[in-house]
């Protein structure tokens, strides 16, 4: 059988030939890629020539070329368009890929070559980027246990393999819970809902094969339902199901998985000589240590909690005015907050949403990228993995820069949330390789598709990540694009969100879906004035999740994570009417893999910088200042991981910022 994954792709710009790739192709392609990788690594380790940067580090950079290509296709599909065959293969691959990674880091001959180069680094004549890659490679091997021997090395290999299996199981359990639950709505249940919510519920019903509208656990549907439904009983039912993902008591329950993951992470850190997993994880981040993270979170927590508690008093009064006795509950907050926003800011989401058409917001993101960085976007007619996905060629000055794929609509085969990934990353070693970048979101379908303001901000956020990938300009793939410290990676994405709120951008692109008229100036003014509305709630739900994540990993692993979660929330004084943004059993950032473990704080760490970075544009004369945009590209977007994050930011801004900019940006600088 011809396997397109193992062939040269004669497609436009080397986009994977999705129309020829079948699920049956992945397993043999992975086997071939692993075999090729093992042969390449063995050739490096057993090379009789003395180690050099070229025959060891650069050769290692290229060793997994086929594996990177096959995995780039498979893991994008498994997240954005899962099916039983892909789920099964993902479960099989997790321990295989973990074992392969351990084989490399446990290869004593290979590590000896790397260690010899590191020892002799000052005499090798390396440029700054090469020195950085050597440093990161040596550090990665030592942090992966390359210096361990005997039983300790074997146990670390087993721990990492088990963690890979558990992360896959966690993700698939969560996807199953989100895919399988829905709440049917009668026509009477639609009373009080704006048309865009009704349309989304009907579309969700069709997608689920139901005769009428339904509410699903997709954030793009359940959040507006909680905002607008006057039926408190239905809000409670939907909220409880949303909060219960991963802890339904059946085969998809994630609670035992979280306990085992935390225990194994603590053991892994101990084997490597660290006092806690958080200490191990944060060593390579800008924060550096758990206490620095705790200090940041608590500096924001106090004013955010004070603001949230003051808001809760007002919302509770509205609840009681509706004749409902008792306390404000988590399923009440969004409903009464929306009513309060309408009363205080004269902003109605149903009125706003027609101005945020999906296609118009895509055009807005593209337009800002053109004005800032000279990028052009041309629709690309290529076969993709799903009918919802679409592609563009990205050029600058007529030269090809990247392929950008957007996959924007929610569906049962797609995991929740929004993310950016690269099917192929930029690099220059072995040829000028240009990236293929994917943005995945979960917006509700409609005709036309309408976004909330938060949805539009999500689109800009993920496109900021895409720019980090597309504008990358480094030699080595290991430091390309978003291959940076976790608490720095969100800077480009969160910074790009600021351009959505630039008045001239909204005036140009926020046009009514029916009339084509621009957003009225009075509405625009009210929208911008209300940007920090309900920020106490938003900050509390985020910081609570970040604190729980940190406490999970900064010390001995808790035997009962749910009890530990409750204890942390009680200690910091979590308001009773606000839930964590991500409760433990569905905290995919932390438990689907190591990416954001002990690192969920990183969004806020980056926000300290993004508020300050956008101020650089304002200080220079406006949001599209050419010189500031050039510095942003030179020192951050194109630089990847070629230097330490604080050095890159300081090169762009001239200094590091403080937390004051963040508090001001969130409107919490005046909180009691």
Alpha helices in 244-289 (DSSP H): 255-271, 277-282
Q: How far is CA 127 from CA 26, 130, 134, in A?
A: 39, 5, 11
SS (H, E, C) 330-391: HHHHHHHHHHHHHHHHCCCHHHHHHHCEHHHHHHHHHHHHHHHHCEEEEEECCCCCCCCCEE
CB of 96 within 8 A of CB of 34?
yes
Residues 70-92 as b or e (16 or more Cβ within 10 Å = b): bbbbbebbbbbbbeeebbebbee
Give burial (CB, 10 Å; 0-12/13-18/19+) of 324.
middle
What phi-psi label fits residue 425: left (phi over 0), alpha (psi between -120 and 50 degrees) or beta? beta
pTM assigned to the model: 0.91
For 88, the token pair is 């099964």
Measured CA angle at 70 (ends 69, 75), to 5 deg:
105
CATH assignment of 4-105+107-144?
A: 1.20.1050
Q: Which pLDDT score is estimated for 75? A: 96
Q: Which pLDDT score is estimated for 671? A: 56
CA 55 to chain CA mean position, Å: 35
Which of 242, 249, 250 has its CA nearest to residue 182? 242
Render pLDDT for 448-461 as a digit per residue (tens, 0 to 9). 899 999 999 999 99
- Compute the distance between CA of residue 159 and CA of residue 148 in angstroms, rounded to an integer: 14
For 381, the token pair is 């007619």
Q: Which pLDDT score is estimated for 672? A: 44
* C-beta pairs of 75-79 under 8 Å, 24+ apart in sequence: 75/421, 76/385, 76/421, 76/423, 76/438, 77/385, 79/414, 79/415, 79/419, 79/421, 79/440
Which of 201, 199, 494, 508 has its CA nearest to residue 355? 508
Which residues of the chain does CATH 1.10.1370.40 include?
A: 354-529+603-665
Which of 633, 567, 553 has its CA nearest to residue 600? 553
Q: Which are the contacts of 48, defined by CB distance < 8 A and separation ≥ 6?
A: none
For 604, the token pair is 């806020």
Which residues does the chain have with pLDDT short of 70? 1, 671-672
Count the Cβ atoms, other than its own, within 10 Å of residue 476.
23
For 230, the token pair is 């006057």
Measured over all CA atoms, what is the biggest interatomic distance in the chain, rounded to whole angstroms?
83
Looking at the DSSP bridge assignments, the partners of residue 375 are 396
427: DSSP letter: B
- Compute the distance between CA of residue 317 and CA of residue 325 in angstroms, rounded to an integer: 10
Count the Cβ atoms, other than its own, within 10 Å of residue 619.
10
| Radius of gyration, alpha carbons of the chain | 25
Which residues of the chain does CATH 1.20.1050 include?
A: 4-105+107-144
Q: Please report the DSSP string for 154-205 in residue order.
A: HHHHHHHHHHHHHHHHHHHHHHHHHHH-EEE--TGGGTT--HHHHHHHHHHH
For 660, the token pair is 């004051």
283: DSSP letter: T
CATH-assigned architecture of domain 354-529+603-665: Orthogonal Bundle (1.10)
* C-beta pairs of 205-213 under 8 Å, 24+ apart in sequence: 207/411, 207/412, 208/182, 208/412, 210/182, 210/184, 212/184, 212/185, 212/186, 212/187, 213/184, 213/185, 213/189
Residues 107-118 as b or e (16 or more Cβ within 10 Å = b): beebbebbbebb
- Compute the distance between CA of residue 140 and CA of residue 527 in angstroms, rounded to an integer: 46
CATH assignment of 255-347+535-600?
A: 1.10.1370.10
Q: Which pLDDT score is estimated for 659? A: 87
Measured CA angle at 173 (ends 172, 178), to 5 deg:
95
Candidates 58, 462, 497, 633; catalytic one: 462
- Compute the distance between CA of residue 336 and CA of residue 318 in angstroms, rounded to an integer: 7
For residue 415, report the phi and psi dihedrals to the nearest 5 degrees: -70, 160
- Is 351 annotated in the active site? no
Q: Which pLDDT score is estimated for 347? A: 86
- Compute the distance between CA of residue 305 and CA of residue 203 in angstroms, rounded to an integer: 38
For residue 438, report the phi and psi dihedrals to the nearest 5 degrees: -125, 130
What is the number of alpha carbons within 13 Å of residue 159 lying toward its C-beta?
Answer: 22
Which helix (H) or strand (E) is 441 found in, with range?
strand 436-443
Q: Which are the contacts of 505, defined by CB distance < 8 A and separation ≥ 6?
A: 364, 367, 368, 499
Q: Please report the DSSP string for 549-578 in residue order.
A: HHHHHSSSPPS-HHHHHHHHHHHHT--TT-
- Compute the distance between CA of residue 321 and CA of residue 634 in angstroms, rounded to an integer: 56
For residue 385, report the phi and psi dihedrals to the nearest 5 degrees: -85, -15
Which of 536, 597, 613 has its CA nearest to residue 561? 597
CB of 215 within 8 A of CB of 238?
yes
* The pairing of beta strand 214-216 with beta strand 375-380: unpaired
């Amino acid at each position: 059988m011809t396997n397109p994954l193992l062939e040269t792709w004669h497609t436009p710009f080397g986009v994977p030939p999705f129309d020829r790739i079948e699920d049956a192709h992945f397993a043999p392609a992975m086997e071939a890629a692993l075999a090729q990788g093992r042969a390449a690594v063995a050739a490096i380790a057993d090379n009789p020539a003395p180690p050099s940067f070229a025959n060891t580090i650069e050769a290692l950079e290229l060793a997994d070329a086929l594996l990177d290509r096959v995995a780039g296709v498979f893991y994008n599909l498994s997240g954005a368009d899962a099916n039983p065959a892909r789920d099964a293969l993902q479960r099989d691959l997790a321990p295989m890929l973990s074992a392969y990674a351990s084989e490399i880091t446990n290869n004593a001959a290979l590590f000896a070559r790397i260690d010899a180069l590191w020892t002799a680094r000052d005499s090798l004549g390396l440029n700054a980027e090469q020195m950085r890659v050597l440093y990161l490679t040596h550090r990665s091997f030592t942090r992966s246990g390359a210096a361990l021997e005997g039983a300790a090395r074997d146990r670390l290999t087993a721990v990492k393999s088990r963690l890979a299996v558990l992360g896959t199981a966690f993700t698939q359990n969560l996807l199953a819970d989100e895919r399988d639950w829905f709440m049917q709505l009668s026509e009477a249940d639609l009373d009080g809902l704006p048309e865009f919510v009704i349309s989304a519920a009907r579309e969700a019903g069709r997608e689920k094969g139901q005769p009428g509208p339904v509410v699903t656990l997709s954030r793009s549907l359940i959040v507006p339902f909680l905002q607008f439904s006057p039926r408190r009983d239905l809000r409670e039912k939907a909220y409880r199901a949303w909060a219960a993902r991963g802890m339904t008591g059946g085969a998809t329950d994630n609670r035992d998985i979280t306990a085992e993951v935390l225990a194994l992470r603590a053991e892994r850190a101990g084997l490597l000589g660290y006092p806690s997993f958080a200490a191990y994880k944060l060593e390579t981040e800008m924060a550096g240590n758990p206490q620095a993270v705790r200090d940041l979170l608590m500096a924001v927590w106090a004013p955010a909690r004070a603001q949230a508690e003051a808001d809760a008093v007002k919302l509770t009064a509205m609840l009681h005015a509706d004749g409902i006795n008792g306390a404000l509950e988590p399923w009440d907050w969004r409903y009464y907050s929306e009513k309060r926003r309408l009363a205080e800011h004269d902003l109605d989401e149903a009125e706003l949403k027609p101005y945020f058409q999906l296609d118009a917001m895509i055009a807005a993101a593209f337009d800002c990228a053109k004005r800032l960085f000279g990028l052009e976007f041309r629709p690309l007619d290529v076969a993709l993995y799903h009918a919802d996905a679409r592609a563009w060629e990205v050029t600058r000055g007529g030269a090809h820069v990247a392929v950008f794929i957007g996959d924007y609509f929610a569906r049962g085969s797609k995991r929740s949330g929004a993310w950016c990934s690269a099917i192929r990353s930029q690099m220059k070693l072995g040829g000028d390789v240009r990236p293929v970048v994917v943005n995945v979101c979960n917006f509700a379908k409609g005709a036309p598709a309408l976004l909330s303001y938060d949805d539009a901000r999500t689109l800009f956020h993920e496109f900021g990540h895409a720019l980090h990938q597309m504008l990358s300009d480094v030699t080595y793939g290991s430091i390309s694009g978003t291959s940076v410290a976790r608490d720095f990676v969100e800077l480009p994405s969160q910074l790009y969100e600021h351009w959505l709120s630039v008045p001239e951008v909204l005036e140009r692109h926020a046009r009514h879906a029916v009339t084509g008229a621009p957003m009225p100036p009075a509405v625009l003014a009210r929208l911008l004035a209300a940007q920090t509305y309900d920020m106490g709630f938003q900050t509390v739900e985020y910081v609570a999740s970040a604190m729980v994540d940190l406490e999970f990993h900064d010390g001995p692993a808790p035997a009962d994570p749910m009890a530990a979660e409750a204890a942390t929330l009680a200690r910091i004084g979590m308001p009773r009417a606000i839930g964590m943004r991500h409760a433990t059993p569905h905290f995919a950032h932390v438990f689907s893999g190591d990416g954001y473990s002990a690192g969920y704080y990183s969004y806020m760490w980056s926000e300290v910088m993004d508020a300050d970075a956008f101020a650089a544009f304002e200080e220079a004369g406006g949001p599209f200042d050419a010189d500031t945009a050039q510095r942003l590209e030179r020192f951050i977007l194109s630089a990847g991981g070629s230097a330490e994050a604080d050095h890159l930011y300081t090169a762009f801004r001239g200094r590091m910022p403080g937390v004051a900019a963040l508090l001001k940006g969130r409107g919490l600088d005046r909180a009691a």
